[in-house]
Structures are given as C-alpha cells and as structure tokens.
C-alpha cells in the first residue's frame, strides 16, 4: 500500500506536550548537530528528527534532504516509517523497504527510500517523534551503530524537553509579569476601601444624635423640618449599606488571594495547607449554601509534588461537585491525612450516593490525565484525593 495510517486513534497525549518551541518552524541548532552526528555514525546520506502531528510528519531538524521535502520540512504522516516508531515506542530497522509489505510504499517509490533505522524521541515521557537515519540502498546497521543511535535519541529527547520547559518558563514569567500587578492593584483598591467605610461610619455616628432627636420630635416638627424624618431613615439605610460593603470586602480579600495562587505560576514547592485554604475559598460559592466545609486540622509544613495550580483546581472542583450533588442539605466533611508517600484529602457529605462519588472521581481523573502525582478515588464512602508528597 502506498499509504498506511498506523497512528489512527492515537495522539491526544502526544499533542498535549507539543507546545511552544517544540513545534517551532525554525530548525534548532542543537538538534541539527545531533542529526549531523547521526548521519556520520550511521554512514547515511539522510538523517532527521521527526515529530508526528495529526496529519503530517514535521521535520524538526534534518540533513541530506532536498527538493520538496527540504522546502516543506515535512511530509504526510501516512507515508512515513517514523509513525511506527511513535506508535510502538521502540526502535525500528528496515533493511530493504521494497521487500516489506507492512510499510507504506510512497516514499520508496517517490524518494528512493530503501533502508531505515529510527529510535523514539519523547517529551515528559510521551513519545512524540523519532530520530532516524535513511539510506537509498538496502543495508543493515550494526549493533554498535544502533546503540549509538539510542544515545543520540536520548540527547534529542533531552533537547525537546528543554524546549518544552523553556516555553513553560517563558509563559510563567509572562503571566507573572502581567497578572501579578493586576492582583497587587486589586489589593491596593481593597485596602483603602476599608478606610473609606470607617470614615463613613464615623460620619453616620456624628449624625446619630440629630437622627435620634428627629425621631423623638417627628410628630411636633413644623412643616419646613418634616423632611428630617426622611433623612434620618436614609442615614439608617446608609449604615446598613456600609455593613454590606464591609462584609463584601472581608470576603473579597481571601478570594483574591486564592485566585492569585491559582492563576500565578508557583515558585517552589506547593504547601498542602495553602492548597486546602485556596480551594476552600474558590469553592465557597457552592459550599456556603449547604453550610460550607467542616475541615479537620490540616498538617502544616507539608509540601506536595503536584503543581499548585492543578492541586488547587482539583480540590476546588471536588468540593463544588460535592456541594452541588443532590442530598440532604449538610456541610461537607473534610479531613487531611498523611499516608506513606502521599497526602490524602478525604471529602464526605451525608446521603451523597457512592455512584455519584465514583462519577466525580472519574471526572477528576479524566482532567489530570493519569498524572501519578495526583489522583481521585472512592474509599469507604469518602471521595479521596491523593497528592504525592514532595521529595
């Protein structure tokens, strides 16, 4: 067959790690040095680093290509041999592609591909492409050559990881520079607001004697002064409004702090008690109507390996889903314990069925995508979130 799609139905995890500089259209100097070394070691005219996308195979670095392949820096994924390396997650050697009917023949026919050897390249443990050598004559590759290719593929994976992490660091710095001042400005606005409320309360208190006198003499006041009674009622309303403003401000302060922790990239290890406090505030809109969350004391000074944003978001989502479940109106019970290498957050609410808890756990695990640092399960009628402890 001229074309074979070996990666049909695969790719969600792979595409998730292909961000920023991993898919830069520019040839990377470090990867170019690696493919040049591959061509020398394997004694082939062509060597390249490929990245398998949804429909195409992108050449992230290459030597020895010419014509349309060099200009496009890629080809259709279905005509490549690298797709089989990506699918299987292991090395592949083809000594004569014309004699192998399980591989696509288009590259054999149009570009003279005969011999191929490739090793997987990964980012964050996910295979995204291959480092390969290609020859235009049938041949085999020695054990020593293949061992050297494995070493060079490991270097290529390290470089891809560096590109991915450099992008995340750039994004984190950008978010910190833009969102950080915004949160600082919110706090700057909120601080004086309390002062204005205090001044307004003092002004209302100054008018207190006049207001009380107006109420006492309301029946005896002459017509021109009758409006004092209405003004007095307005002052009473103003005092109530000031109470409401102050209450809103007091609720806003911890919410702003929690949002800041959720939005801004973290520096250093995430602390478990900070995660619990932030998640509790973020879920308050849903938990307050049922009585909030009755937390048992949380261990202090405990660091977790999971990223702070993911840890907070997962716990806040769990609290909100627990609060919105149909059940007897009652607060959520929350407990935090340490079990071996993990911190375990347990959540329970009376009359919430096990099937509902199981569905919540499934949804949470789907979001984190099988991350080993964070997971959800149902244990003895508790929804449990497990966080790997920091080393």
Separation of alpha carbons 17 and 154, rounded Å: 17
Among 327, 328, 329, 304, CA closest to 314: 304
Is residue 303 situated within a structural domain? yes
Residues 131 and 273 in one domain: no
**Residue 307 belongs to domain with CATH number:** 3.30.565.10
For residues 148 and 277, membership in a common domain is answered with no
- Boundary (domain end) residue, out of 170, 190, 214: 170
For residue 389, give the 3-state DSSP assignment: strand
In whole angstroms, what separates CA 15 from the centre of its chain? 14
Q: Do 17 and 162 belong together in one domain?
A: yes
Adjacency order of strands within the sheet including 342-348: 293-295, 332-339, 342-348, 382-388, 374-379
For the chain, 391 residues long, the average pLDDT of each consecutive 10-residue run is 76 70 85 96 96 88 90 87 92 92 85 93 91 95 96 94 68 50 63 68 65 56 49 63 69 64 62 87 84 90 82 86 87 92 93 90 76 83 91 67
pLDDT of residue 305: 83
Report if residue 38 sits inside a domain.
Answer: yes
Contacts of 153 (CB under 8 A, 6+ apart): 119, 120, 121, 130, 131
Instruction: Determine the Cα–Cα distance for residues 224 and 369; give it in Å rounded to an integer.
Output: 74
Q: Which domain holds residue 326?
A: 266-391
> In the chain, where do the E strands start and end?
46-52, 56-63, 74-76, 92-94, 115-123, 126-135, 270-271, 293-295, 303-304, 332-339, 342-348, 374-379, 382-388
CATH of the domain at 117: 3.30.450.40
User: Three-state secondary structure along 274-327?
Assistant: HHHHHHHHHCHHHHHHHCCEEECCCCCCCEECCCHHHHHHHHHHHHHHHHHCCC
Whole-angstrom Cα distance, residue 159 to residue 164?
9
Q: Which of 170, 191, 216 is the last residue of a domain?
A: 170
Q: Residue 178: what pLDDT?
A: 46
- DSSP structural state of residue 255: H
Residues 24 and 130 in one domain: yes
Does 282 lie in the same domain as 143?
no
Same-domain status, 270 and 384: yes
- In angstroms, the Cα distances linking 278 to 177, 200, 229, 272, 321 are 21, 32, 47, 10, 16
* Residue 368 and residue 386 in contact, taking contact as beta carbons nearer than 8 Å: no
Question: Which two structure tokens, joined as six digits, stand for 149?
Answer: 């290719």
Is 290 within the bounds of a domain?
Answer: yes
Q: Are residues 164 and 271 in the same domain?
A: no
Cα distance between residue 268 and residue 287, in whole Å: 30
Distance CA 334, CA 239 (A): 37
Q: Is residue 6 part of a domain?
A: no
Determine which helix (DSSP H) or strand (DSSP E) holds 245, and give its type and residue range.
Answer: helix 227-263
- Give residue 171's pLDDT: 47
Do residue 165 and residue 272 come from a single domain?
no
Does residue 158 lie within any of the structural domains?
yes
SS3 38: helix
SS3 state of residue 213: helix
Q: For residue 4, is it within any domain?
A: no
**Beta strands 46-52 and 126-135, pairing class:** antiparallel
Final residue in a domain of this structure, among 127, 155, 170 = 170
d(CA 193, CA 189): 6
* 248 within a domain of the structure (yes/no): no
Helix, strand, coil % over all residues of the chain, rounded to 5: 55, 20, 25
Together in a domain, 17 and 158: yes
Given this model, what pLDDT does residue 226 score? 47
Is 30 within the bounds of a domain?
A: yes
In the numeric block, which tokens belong to residue 216?
């006492």
Number of domains in the chain: 2
Of residues 246, 132, 115, 241, the one with CA closest to residue 193: 246
Query: What pLDDT was estimated at residue 275?
Result: 87
Q: How far apart are CA 248 and CA 244, in angstroms?
A: 6
pLDDT of amino acid 33: 96
SS3 assignment, position 80: coil
């Amino acid at each position: 067959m001229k074309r074979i799609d070996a990666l049909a139905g695969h790719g969600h995890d792979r595409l998730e790690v292909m961000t920023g500089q991993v898919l830069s259209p520019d040839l990377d100097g470090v990867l170019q040095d690696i493919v040049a070394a591959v061509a020398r070691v394997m004694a082939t005219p062509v060597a390249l680093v490929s990245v398998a996308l949804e429909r195409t195979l992108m050449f992230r670095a290459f030597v020895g290509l010419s014509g349309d392949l060099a200009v496009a820096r890629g080809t259709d994924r279905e005509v490549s041999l690298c797709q089989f390396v990506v699918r299987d997650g292991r090395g592949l050697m083809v000594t004569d592609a014309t004699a192998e009917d399980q591989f696509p023949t288009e590259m054999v026919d149009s570009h003279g591909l005969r011999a191929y050897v490739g090793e997987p390249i990964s980012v964050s443990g996910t295979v995204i492409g291959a480092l390969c050598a290609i020859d235009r004559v049938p041949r085999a590759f020695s054990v020593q050559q293949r061992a050297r290719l494995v070493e060079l593929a490991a270097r290529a994976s390290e470089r891809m990881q560096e590109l991915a992490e450099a992008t995340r660091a750039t994004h984190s710095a950008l978010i910190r520079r833009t969102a950080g001042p915004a949160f600082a400005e919110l706090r700057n606005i909120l601080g004086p607001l309390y002062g204005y409320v205090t001044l307004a309360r003092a002004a209302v208190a100054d008018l207190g004697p006049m207001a009380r006198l107006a109420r006492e003499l309301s029946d005896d006041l002459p017509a021109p002064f009758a409006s004092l009674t209405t003004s007095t009622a307005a002052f009473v309303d103003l005092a109530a409004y000031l109470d409401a403003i102050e209450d809103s401000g007091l609720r806003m302060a911890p919410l702003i702090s929690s949002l800041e922790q959720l939005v801004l990239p973290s520096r250093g290890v995430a602390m478990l008690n900070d995660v619990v406090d932030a998640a509790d505030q973020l879920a308050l809109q849903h938990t307050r109507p049922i009585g909030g969350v009755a937390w048992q004391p949380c261990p202090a000074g405990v660091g977790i390996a999971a990223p702070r944003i993911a840890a907070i978001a997962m716990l806040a989502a769990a609290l909100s889903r627990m609060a919105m479940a149909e059940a007897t109106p009652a607060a959520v019970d929350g407990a935090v314990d340490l079990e071996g290498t993990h911190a375990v957050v347990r959540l329970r609410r009376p009359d919430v069925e096990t099937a509902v808890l199981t569905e919540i756990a499934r949804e949470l695990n789907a979001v984190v995508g099988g991350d080993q640092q964070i997971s959800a399960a149902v244990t003895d009628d508790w929804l449990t979130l497990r966080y790997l402890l920091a080393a």
